[in-house]
Structure 1
């Protein structure tokens, strides 16, 4: 019972730190935020912060890790074949999640390189998706590696565009476009529905 209470207290402290971090990041750049400011905004002692994190970048790393795990959990509900056959449905779930976590997305994409903050997230989806293809499929081939990089950069570009437009399009609309681009390429995405 004591461990459960301690865990809940740690979760609440981390949530307060994250909330304060997001609020401060709306006012200034990350490199302008001090630990003292953050701990005051989170209403915690400085030492409490250091029990959980080493610096502000470790907070970002934990956010990114959490998002990767959450997206992986979304995809694990589907078999690899279901992922392959229902790209737009799965993509819509992921875009709804990103919309729900839009403050996190904004913070991560503003402060981290687009490649580092999105590649891990997408790889967690693509790994399951690729399991639907024959084992003879050569993932180390130049063609596959180039296509993977192209798709990763494209999806991250779509998310960044959506962010820059203040998430004004619905997650379903963005997922539909993204799914068609991934499956059918630029020609499929431009066809009228």
Structure 2
């Protein structure tokens, strides 16, 4: 019972820190936020902060790690063949998750480059997706690497555009468009209604 209480207290403390960081990041750049400001906004003592994190960037790293883990778990619910054949379902689930976590996503975008944050998230899905293809498929080939980078960068661009447009489109709409682009390229995207 004591362990459960400690875990809930830790979760509550980390949630307070995250909300304070989100709030402060709307007023100033991440590198301008001091630990003092952050702990005051979170209503915790500095020592409590240092029990969990070393600095503001370690908070961001944990957010990114948690999001990557969550996205990876989404992809792992599907067999590689299901993932290949139903990439739209996984894409829709991922976009709904990103929408639910939009404040954390925006925080990461403000603090890190889109490539470093988003690439890890997308690779969590793409790596699982790729296991559906024959082992004879040369993943180290120039052709594969270029296609992988193109798809990753394209999907990241869509996510960034969606964020910049204040999520005006539904996660399902964005997922459908992204899925069509990944599967059929530009010609497929123009066929989405």
TM-score relative to the length of structure 2:
0.97
**Over aligned residues, Cα RMSD in angstroms?**
0.9
Shift in Å at residue 10 of structure 1? 1.0
Q: 1:182 aligned to 2:182?
A: yes
TM-score relative to the length of structure 1:
0.97
Task: Give distance in 1, aligned partners of 2:110 and 2:88.
Answer: 27
Cα deviation digits, residues 91-138 of structure 1 (max 9, x gap): 000000000000011111111011110111111101110111111111
Query: Which consecutive residues of structure 1, in runs of 5 or more, have no partner in the other structure?
Result: none
Aligned to 1:19: 19
Aligned length: 193
Aligned to 1:68: 68
Shift in Å at residue 192 of structure 1? 5.1
Task: Give distance in 1, aligned partners of 2:79 and 2:192.
Answer: 30
Aligned to 2:106: 106
Aligned to 2:140: 140
Aligned to 1:43: 43
Q: Which consecutive aligned stretches of 4+ in structure 1 deviate over 6 angstroms post-superposition?
A: none
Task: Give distance in 2, aligned partners of 1:10 and 1:54.
Answer: 15
Preserved CA contact (<8 Å) 2:177 2:192: no
Aligned to 1:10: 10
Aligned to 2:96: 96
Task: Give distance in 1, aligned partners of 2:20 and 2:191.
Answer: 44
Query: Which consecutive residues of structure 2, in runs of 5 or more, have no partner in the other structure?
Result: none
Aligned to 1:56: 56
Aligned to 2:191: 191
Between 155-164 and 5-14, report the one with greater CA deviation.
5-14
Partner SS state of residue 48, structure 1 = helix
